Amino acid sequence: MEAQTLYEKLWSSHVVHQEADGTALIYIDRHLVHEVTSPQAFEGLKLAGRKPWRVSSIVATADHNTPTDHWEQGIQDPVSRQQVETLDSNIREVGALAYFPFKNERQGIVHVIGPENGATLPGMTVVCGDSHTSTHGAFACLAHGIGTSEVEHVMATQCLIQKRSKTMLVRVDGKLGKGVTAKDVALAIIGRIGTAGGTGYAIEFGGEVMRSLSMEGRMTVCNMAIEAGARMGFVAVDQITIDYLKGRPFSPRGDDWERAVAYWRTLHSDEGARFDQLVVLRGEEIQPQVTWGTSPEMVVPVGATVPDPAKENDPVRREGMERALQYMGLTPNLPVTSIKIDKVFIGSCTNSRIEDLRQAAVIARGRRKADNVRQVLVVPGSGLVKRQAEQEGLDKIFVAAGFEWREPGCSMCLAMNADRLEPGERCASTSNRNFEGRQGAGGRTHLVSPAMAAAAAIAGHFADVRDIL
């Protein structure tokens, strides 16, 4: 048999029906649901008199609108509250394999709770009305974001209409240096191929660096595949994947576990499999990264200076750079480490897992945030992450450093709840998008790793985490 890529294996194992032109019906194993992109889908289903095809595929939670403090007061914003209550009533009516509502101890960001509960398993197709569904590709899943019409389509038919993507292998060879993390790998890849570099592709992340990353690290890289334009990114199964999944609430048990593991071990690209495109990075060359502009591709190593649009030849790109610098309140050729910050956000589906919090805590331990930093939010990805962090005493380290230890949720990654930047405020953020207004109208976002965010909180400006470690 011809050598297959992981993508081809995952794709062909889910084709229900295929037309002559390649348009296929793809079966969906897991449907993650949150409050923002589902209400219109539930309503559409009801209006058409349709029943959900398989409710046991649904895992739901409320994460985007939920507050991260004063849970005893409930959700203050009536519009947010209505959206969360709409999810409550829709799930009550329709059912689900699991629902982790607001205040539930296992509630959290949908892309954190899926894996930590073993609801994301290798070989699955995983979809959600959320572009960061690519995160689940860390488990060798075909996982991607969909719009609300497709949310309704999956509810009604358990399938999606799709065509095969092109394949790209991003290989990160060698080893990462001290203080360089999965987030820096993700940003370095985006810096290399651009935010549209992966458009039309399914990206497999491979190489020694990816193999050495924990599942948390792999999730961070796959999470940001969409920031490189690729709807999905994934990593082959290995012992690290299998060890992570053993014993999780929805992981298989007993004979099923053995049977599943035997299958999962086949979920890798075969020797000699051909990709449509290959990108190679050296781990040793990746430095801690900081974005300077309003697109994740506007990124430089921490030791660099803010780029100069005058050196850009393409007029549309040059204008884009100038506009970004103006929005960000920066001037060309400024050293990145001289940029002072007002706020820090440690959290989001990119960087809110236990390992992320540990990386930040290593920097925060025994230190204190700089006086010019008004607020440092630490928002764990889920109730379970929060509990574990507290068992490890990380919350105390953060609080002693002047950071705020919050309840889980999406929080200031997109500022749908009360956590947001004010106009002109500058933030070192572990989230995934530095778009204009993303963290609040007029807010200025610099994307960094959790360790770099903590280092910036301590220094009051961007600082090379390697000088602190």
Partner 1 sequence: MQKFITLNGLVAPLDRNNVDTDAIIPKQFLKSIKRSGFGPNAFDEWRYMDRGEPGMDNSQRPLNPNFVLNQPRYQGASVLLTRANFGCGSSREHAPWALLDYGFRAIIAESFADIFFNNCFKNGVVPIVLPKAEVDALFGLVEHSPGYTIEVDLPTQLVKRPDGHAVHFDIDPFRKECLINGWDDIGLTLRHADKIKAFEERRRAEHPYYFA
For partner 1, which stretch binds (CB under 8 A), given 194-202, 212-220, 369-377, 453-461? 194-202
Tell me if 250 contacts partner 1 by CB under 8 A: yes
Q: Up-side HSE of residue 299: CA atoms within 13 Å toward CB? A: 31
Asked if 435 and 294 count as a contact pair (C-beta separation under 8 A), the reply is yes
Neighbours of 326 (CB within 10 A): 11
Asked if 305 and 34 count as a contact pair (C-beta separation under 8 A), the reply is no
Tell me if 29 contacts partner 1 by CB under 8 A: yes
Choice between 149 and 391, CB closer to partner 1: 149
Tell me if 89 contacts partner 1 by CB under 8 A: no
What are the backbone dihedrals phi and psi of residue 315, each rounded to the nearest 5 degrees, phi first?
A: -65, -35
User: What binding mask, one character per residue, do residues 206-235 give for partner 1 by CB under 8 A, x or -?
Assistant: --------------------x--xxx----
Tell me if 21 contacts partner 1 by CB under 8 A: yes
Of 190, 415, 427, 452, the one binding partner 1 (CB under 8 A) is 415
Q: List, in order, residues 6 or more apart from 79 with CB less than 8 Å away.
A: none
Choice between 147 and 329, CB closer to partner 1: 147
Tell me if 188 contacts partner 1 by CB under 8 A: no
Binding to partner 1 (CB under 8 A) within 281-340 occurs at: 295, 316-317, 319-320, 323
Of 5, 65, 269, 359, the one binding partner 1 (CB under 8 A) is 65
Q: Up-side HSE of residue 117: CA atoms within 13 Å toward CB? A: 25
User: Residue 237: what residue type?
Assistant: V
Of 23, 331, 372, 391, the one binding partner 1 (CB under 8 A) is 23
For partner 1, which stretch binds (CB under 8 A), given 15-23, 278-286, 385-393, 446-454? 15-23
User: What binding mask, one character per residue, do residues 357-396 give for partner 1 by CB under 8 A, x or -?
Assistant: ----------------------------------------
Q: 98 in helix, strand or coil?
A: strand
What region does 368 belong to: left with phi over 0, alpha with psi -120 to 50, or beta? Answer: beta
Q: Give me 224's structure tokens.
A: 């940001």
Tell me if 355 contacts partner 1 by CB under 8 A: no
User: What binding mask, one character per residue, do residues 147-166 give for partner 1 by CB under 8 A, x or -?
Assistant: xxxx-xx--xxxx-x-x---
Asked if 47 and 181 count as a contact pair (C-beta separation under 8 A), the reply is no
Residue 254 Cβ, how far from partner 1 at the closest point, in Å?
10
Residue 448 Cβ, how far from partner 1 at the closest point, in Å?
19
Choice between 422 and 467, CB closer to partner 1: 422
Of 274, 436, 466, 468, the one binding partner 1 (CB under 8 A) is 436
Tell me if 437 contacts partner 1 by CB under 8 A: yes
Tell me if 195 contacts partner 1 by CB under 8 A: yes
Asked if 279 and 271 count as a contact pair (C-beta separation under 8 A), the reply is no
- 3-class SS letters over 262-285: HHHCCCCCCCCCCCCEEEEEEHHH
Residue 153 Cβ, how far from partner 1 at the closest point, in Å?
5
Asked if 143 and 133 count as a contact pair (C-beta separation under 8 A), the reply is yes
For partner 1, which stretch binds (CB under 8 A), given 19-27, 173-181, 332-340, 447-455? 19-27
Quick one: CA torsion of 295, 299, 302, 308, rounded to 10 degrees?
-100
Q: Which element (helix H / strand E) includes 16?
A: strand 15-18
Q: Give me 447's structure tokens.
A: 């994307």
